[in-house]
């Protein structure tokens, strides 16, 4: 039932209080004094118990409406200002929290990963690790602007990693055993390659690395064992964004072969953004101003990690 707070004029909320509330993950519902609670899903997954808790919270504190955002968070609508803390306390026992706003590392977006027939990496597990280390771990660290991260399980790019400030894409690099290739006139590997990177020429199979997307679909296709295995890796794009000024990210020249390497690149990118970005500037603009090659050089070396404590302690933004 509507209360006095439900119908209170939005202008009655002091700007500083509105800013504080937004920092908790509560977004103002235009034209009202109510808010939508942005409930984090960590990696796009919630349990049945958590879903029930969210539904109960929507009926108890909001208007009964729940919206799912493009960033895989859940927004419970119509919460009056006086019910915000009660709402947060109600969902906490289910392991749920609100947040995901401000000039900080934002919640991670992930695709289905290995539950998908094309998935090459466990995106749910990796996204949770990224969430814990960078969303939670860097939550008090102010950045020049928002910093969005997406994790895709394969080159199909379903969650569009290359349109995020940093995007990570699972790779499977085929191991071609040329001695096993018989140069078949009808090559199963060539026929199964979705981007035609694999071709038989001069009696042997060749893979054009300039166009191979490392989707891994060729692995195991050859009946003679020309491609039996592949190496898992991580391709990383930096500087993507979507919105008023859309820009596709640029891939780093290296495919990273371990999860640790990929995680370190993410951390170095965040540190670079904090240290060298200007307040109000997106990461794409920082890369454009500094130059991609210069940024890549810093990300592939260890200077940023060596300065980590100083960068985090600096009074910036």
The first and second tokens of residue 223, run together, are: 């009946």
Distance, CA of 78 to CA of 55 (rounded, Å): 13
Rounded distance between C-alpha atoms, residue 278 and residue 37, angstroms: 30
Buried b (16+ CB within 10 A) or exposed e, 210-230: eebbbbbbbbbbbeeebbeeb
**CA distance to 71, 109, 219, 236, 283, per residue, from 174 (Å):** 32, 27, 6, 18, 33
- State residue 189's pLDDT score: 97
pLDDT band at 313; cut points 50, 70, 90: very high
What does the pLDDT read at residue 252?
98
Identify the helix (H) or strand (E) that includes residue 139: none
Question: Where residue 114 falls among pLDDT bands split at 50, 70, 90?
Answer: confident
Q: Would you state the structure tokens that stand for residue 244, as one six-digit string?
A: 């008023």
User: What pLDDT does 5 receive?
Assistant: 45
Distance CA 208, CA 292 (A): 25
- Give 132's DSSP letter: I
Segment 242-253 shows an average pLDDT of: 94
**In the chain, pLDDT over 70 holds for what percent of residues?**
97
Of 51, 68, 61, 53, which Cα lies nearest the Cα of 85?
A: 61
What domains, with CATH codes, occur in the chain?
A: 4-94 (3.90.480.20), 109-172+233-313 (3.30.413.10), 176-228 (3.30.70.20)
Query: Tokens 């020049």 appear where?
Result: 144
Q: Identify the CA nearest to 123 among candidates 234, 49, 32.
A: 234
- Residue 11: the pLDDT is 56
Query: What share of the chain in percent tops pLDDT 90?
Result: 91
Does residue 101 register a pLDDT over 50?
A: yes
Q: Say if CB 231 and CB 175 are below 8 A apart.
A: yes
pLDDT of 4 strictly over 60: no
167/301 Cα distance (integer angstroms) = 19
Q: Is the pLDDT of residue 33 over 90?
A: no
The helices-and-strands tally (H runs, E runs) of the chain is: 11, 11
> Model pTM?
0.92
Q: 108, exposed or middle or buried, with CB in 10 Å at 0-12, 13-18, 19+? A: buried
- What pLDDT, on the 0 to 100 scale, is given for residue 19? 87
Helix boundaries (H) for the chain: 4-7, 15-23, 48-61, 84-91, 123-130, 188-192, 259-276, 283-290, 292-299, 303-306, 308-313
């Amino acid at each position: 039932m509507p209360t006095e707070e439900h119908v209170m004029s939005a202008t009655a909320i002091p700007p500083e209080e509105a800013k504080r509330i937004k920092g908790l993950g509560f977004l103002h519902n235009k034209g009202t004094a109510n808010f939508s609670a942005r409930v984090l899903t960590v990696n796009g997954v919630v349990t049945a118990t958590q879903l029930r808790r969210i539904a109960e919270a929507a009926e108890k504190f909001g208007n009964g409406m729940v919206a799912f955002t493009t960033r895989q968070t859940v927004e419970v609508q119509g919460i009056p200002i006086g019910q915000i803390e009660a709402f947060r306390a109600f969902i906490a026992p289910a392991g749920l929290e609100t947040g995901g706003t401000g000039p900080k590392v934002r919640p991670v977006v992930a695709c289905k990963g290995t539950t998908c027939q094309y998935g090459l990496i466990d995106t749910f597990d990796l996204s949770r690790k990224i969430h814990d280390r960078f969303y939670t771990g860097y939550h008090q660290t102010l950045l020049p602007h928002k910093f969005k991260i997406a994790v895709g399980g394969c080159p199909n790019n379903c969650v569009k990693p290359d349109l995020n400030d940093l995007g990570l894409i699972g790779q499977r690099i085929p191991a071609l055993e040329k001695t096993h290739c018989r140069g078949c006139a009808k090559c199963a590997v060539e026929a199964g390659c979705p981007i035609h990177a694999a071709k038989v020429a001069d009696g042997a199979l060749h893979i054009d690395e300039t166009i191979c997307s490392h989707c891994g679909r060729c692995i195991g296709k050859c009946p003679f064992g020309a491609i039996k295995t592949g190496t898992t890796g991580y391709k990383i794009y930096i500087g993507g964004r979507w919105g008023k000024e859309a820009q596709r990210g640029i891939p780093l020249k290296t495919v990273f072969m371990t999860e640790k390497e990929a995680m370190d690149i993410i951390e170095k990118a965040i540190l670079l953004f904090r240290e060298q970005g200007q307040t109000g500037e997106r990461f794409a603009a920082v890369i454009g101003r500094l130059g991609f090659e210069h940024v890549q050089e810093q990300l592939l070396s260890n200077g940023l990690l060596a300065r980590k404590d100083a960068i985090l302690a600096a009074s910036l933004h």
